[in-house]
Homo-oligomer: A and B are copies of this chain.
Amino acid sequence: MTQHASINHAWLLASRPDGEPVKENFRYVEQPLPQVQAGQMLLRTHYLSLDPYMRGRMDDSKSYAPPAQLDQPMVGGTVCQVAESQHPDFSAGDWVLAASGWQSYALSDGTGVTKIGHLPHPSWALGILGMPGFTAYMGLMDIGQPKAGETLVVAAATGPVGATVGQLGKLNGCRVVGVAGGEEKCRYAIDTLGFSACIDHHRDDFAEQLAAACPDGIDIYFENVGGKVFDAVFPLLNTAARVPVCGLVSGYSSRELPPGPDRTPLIMGGILKRRIRMQGFIIFQDYGDRYPEFLQAMTPLVEQQKVLYREHMVEGLEHAPQAFIDMLKGKNFGKTVVKVA
């Protein structure tokens, strides 16, 4: 017997944004639930992850993943429970990690769906023990290669990637300097996460403050925001510095390049003279086969609270667009998750 509603609620991509997304780019619809056929199952969304990369999917441009389709549910990672199953590998009640998007129910043939067991905090599979945590771990450990005594700078320092990068850096003996928006987040990064310093990027003297907080220069810059943070960091990068590039959220909604001069020769000259390694990565494409290694390393750190994790939980699927817009502006404090069920 199945126990679930008969209606699916979904946010469709109504139009592609011109610059920053607005609520009108999304359309809320009610649809009858589809019939489950042999080999299929019905997933009930408990938690929907909202992440910066989704901004890129809203554009119809070439990227590492195909764009979201107009008039289809917005794409997104979810934690679901199987509501009804005619799939041989899944049973009703199973907790799974899926990519079923911004909707309360979804039909699935099992592709890309992973059982996660009944975790104490199922939503963490979307954060510290999921894509953002994995991104932080591989980017820092494989590309950043932290060494004791080095200075590590990370922006979005209280977000799910930045906070994890910083705490892992500290566990590896780095001096960690965060960048965040606002005094409250900076205090949290220092007092709770244990960063050595955290600079508010809203300050007029942000670049000077960052330089003062990094008297020995910067050995690792974990790039997840771009823009003025990159501009302030670049001159401080030391010889043989490493720059894992996992995101550029500050520029995701930009429609044109900033005015000149063109700093390309400056960037390339710095890379050459200071022997900098700069490397972009897309977590599951570059490191998909190392997910078990990540889980094995991270799970005990989280359980023993050596790495802390904070969620920004939004109640109700109906609030997803506003929560997403707010996140892109840095109004979240921690990993943004929508509680759907």
Contacts of A270 in B (CB 8 A): 280
Q: Which residue of B lies closest to A281 (CB)?
A: B275
Most B CB within 10 A of own CB, among A226, A240, A279:
A279
Whether a CB of chain B sits under 8 angstroms from the CB of A286 is yes
Q: Is A121 an interface residue (CB 8 A)?
A: no
**Interchain CB contact (< 8 A) of A273 among B63, B239, B271:** B63
Encode contact with B along A223-250: 1 for CB under 8 Å, 0 otherwise: 1001100110000000110000111100
The answer, yes or no, to whether A297 is at the interface (CB within 8 Å) is no
Shortest beta-carbon distance from A286 to chain B in Å: 6
Stretch at the interface among A4-12, A78-86, A259-267, A333-341: A259-267
Q: How far is the CA of A319 from the CA of B317 in the complex (A)?
A: 77
Q: Is the CB of B278 within 8 A of A271?
A: yes
Closest to A240 in B: B286
Flag whether A204 is at the interface (Cβ < 8 A).
Answer: no
Answer whether residue A277 sits at the interface, using C-beta atoms and an 8 A cutoff.
Answer: yes
| CB proximity to B under 8 Å, residues A124-166 | none
Which of the residues B56, B230, B257 comes within 8 Å of A261, measured between beta carbons? B257
Residue of chain B at shortest CB distance from A62: B273
Decide: A263 near B274, CB < 8 A? Known: A268-B245, A269-B251: no
Is A285 in contact with chain B by the CB < 8 A criterion?
yes
A275-297 at interface with B (beta carbon < 8 Å)? 275-282, 285-286
Q: Are B262 and A248 in contact (CB under 8 A)?
A: no
Q: Is the CB of B281 within 8 A of A279?
A: no
- How distant is the Cα of A261 from the Cα of B260 in the complex, in angstroms? 4
Q: Is the CB of B282 within 8 A of A275?
A: yes
Task: Tell me if A258 counts as interface (CB < 8 A to partner B).
Answer: yes
- Residue from B257, B269, B271, B278 within 8 A of A266 (CB atoms): B257
- Docked complex Cα distance between A64 and B263 (Å): 20
**Copies of the polypeptide in the assembly:** 2
**Complex partner residue of A272 from B227, B246, B256, CB under 8 angstroms:** B246
Q: Say if the beta carbon of A37 comes within 8 Å of chain B.
A: no
**Could you tell me the distance in whole angstroms from the C-beta of A249 to the nearest C-beta in chain B?**
11
Are B258 and A272 touching (Cβ within 8 A)? no
How many Å lie between the Cα of A42 and that of B133 in the bound state? 62
Contact of A91 with B by CB under 8 A? no
| Assembled-state Cα–Cα distance A279/B246 (Å) | 16
Known A-B contacts A277-B277, A279-B276, A285-B275; the reply to A248 vs B269 at CB < 8 A is yes
Beta-carbon contact of B264 and A263 below 8 Å: yes
* Chain B residues near A264 (CB-CB < 8 A): 230-231, 258, 263-264, 267
How many angstroms between the C-alpha atoms of A91 and B56 in the bound complex?
68
Inter-chain contact B268/A230, CB cutoff 8 Å: yes
Give the chain B neighbours of A56 by CB distance below 8 A. Answer: 273
Question: Can you list 18 residue pairs at the A/B interface with Cβ under 8 Å?
Answer: A245-B268, A245-B272, A251-B265, A251-B269, A257-B260, A257-B263, A257-B266, A258-B262, A259-B261, A260-B261, A262-B262, A263-B264, A271-B280, A272-B282, A273-B280, A274-B280, A276-B279, A277-B279
Closest 7 CB pairs of A and B: A260-B260, A257-B261, A272-B280, A271-B280, A277-B279, A275-B280, A258-B262
Additional 7 contacts, C-beta under 8 A, given A64-B274, A248-B265, A275-B282: A64-B239, A251-B265, A257-B265, A260-B262, A267-B267, A275-B286, A277-B279
